[in-house]
């Protein structure tokens, strides 16, 4: 416990230094909690915050539990920071990718991300599909038109899954196009369904390929 407290105080000092450097107001709150209490406590705190910034360890059950607790119980968007890429992540989010499937979580994610989308240099929308149906094409164009109404110019394309997983398709696109931020809805299907069969949310939470803004 002493070691954990020492680590926490060091992280708070580092965060305070960064906040001062970028001119951001911050309020610190250090508590001792049992492991099972962490996710619910963070979710309660997050409900009156604009955004929760969550550091994510790769394939960590604890990180996944915290992210899921915030997604299901805070009602607010999350910004996931992959710890393994922390030294490489950009400060300016110029190139943004929206993962679009016309679901309610995806629509909420787009709405939550509007302030960031307005300041981006490039906004891309992708739908991962092998069918490229008329409905999918119309939906992508409709999102492009919706963003134009908010002063945001975006492009739309479909990308093939080709036997991979949707989460892996997002990861490959992010890396090949040097994306700074991925915006996506979480758990379009039930959480149990994704645990059993896998899914894009589980893949991205397990190992975010870049900054990820996620809403549900």
Q: What pLDDT shows up at residue 24?
A: 81
Percentage of residues in the chain having pLDDT higher than 70: 93
Q: What pLDDT shows up at residue 6?
A: 54
β-pairing, 211-215 vs 78-82, is antiparallel
Q: What pLDDT shows up at residue 191?
A: 54
H/E run at residue 215: strand 211-215
pLDDT value at 3 more than 70: no
Phi/psi of residue 43, each to 5°?
A: -65, -40
**Which CATH number is correct for 95-215, 3.40.50.620, 3.40.50.300, 3.90.1150.10, 1.10.357.20?**
3.40.50.620
Q: What does the pLDDT average to over 17-27?
A: 83
CB 124 within 8 A of CB 157: yes
pLDDT value at 32 more than 90: no
Q: What pLDDT shows up at residue 4?
A: 52
Q: What does the pLDDT average to over 10-38?
A: 83
Q: What does the pLDDT average to over 122-142?
A: 96
What b-and-e string marks burial along 64-96, b requiring 16 or more CB atoms within 10 Å of the CB? bebbbbbbeebebbbbbbbeeeeeeeeeebebb
Q: What does the pLDDT average to over 9-27?
A: 83
Q: What does the pLDDT average to over 100-104?
A: 94
Residue with tokens 């069969």: 197
CB 126 within 8 A of CB 98: yes
Residue 161 to residue 159: CA distance in whole angstroms: 7
Q: Give the domain ranges of the chain.
A: 1-32, 95-215
Q: What pLDDT shows up at residue 172?
A: 97
Q: What does the pLDDT average to over 141-162?
A: 97
Residue 174 to residue 209: CA distance in whole angstroms: 7
Residue 71 to residue 209: CA distance in whole angstroms: 19
pLDDT, tens only, 175-207:
999 999 999 999 875 554 444 344 899 999 999
Q: Which of the four pLDDT bands, split at 50, 70 and 90, describes residue 145?
A: very high
Residue 117 to residue 123: CA distance in whole angstroms: 7
pLDDT, tens only, 58-88:
999 999 999 999 999 999 999 999 999 999 9
Beta strands in 40-111 (DSSP E): 52-56, 78-82, 95-99
pLDDT value at 146 more than 80: yes
Beta strands in 14-154 (DSSP E): 52-56, 78-82, 95-99, 122-128
Q: What pLDDT shows up at residue 23?
A: 86
């Amino acid at each position: 416990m002493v070691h954990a407290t020492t680590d926490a105080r060091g992280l708070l000092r580092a965060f305070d230094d960064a906040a001062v450097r970028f001119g951001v107001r911050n309020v610190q709150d250090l508590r001792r909690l049992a492991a099972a209490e962490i996710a619910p406590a963070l979710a309660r705190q997050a409900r009156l915050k604009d955004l929760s910034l969550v550091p994510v360890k790769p394939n960590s059950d604890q990180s996944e539990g915290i992210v899921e607790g915030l997604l299901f119980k805070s009602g607010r968007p999350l910004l996931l920071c992959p710890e393994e890429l922390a030294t490489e992540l950009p400060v300016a989010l110029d190139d943004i990718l929206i993962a679009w499937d016309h679901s309610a979580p995806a629509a909420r994610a787009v709405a939550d991300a509007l302030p960031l989308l307005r300041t981006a240099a490039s906004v891309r929308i992708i739908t991962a599909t092998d069918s490229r149906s008329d409905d999918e094409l119309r939906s992508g164009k409709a999102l492009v038109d919706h963003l134009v109404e908010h002063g945001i110019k975006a492009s739309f394309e479909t990308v093939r899954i080709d036997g991979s997983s949707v989460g892996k398709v997002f990861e490959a696109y992010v890396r090949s196009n040097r994306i700074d931020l991925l915006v996506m809805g979480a758990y379009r299907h039930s959480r149990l369904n994704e645990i059993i069969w896998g899914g894009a949310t589980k893949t991205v939470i397990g190992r975010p390929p870049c900054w990820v803004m996620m809403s549900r």
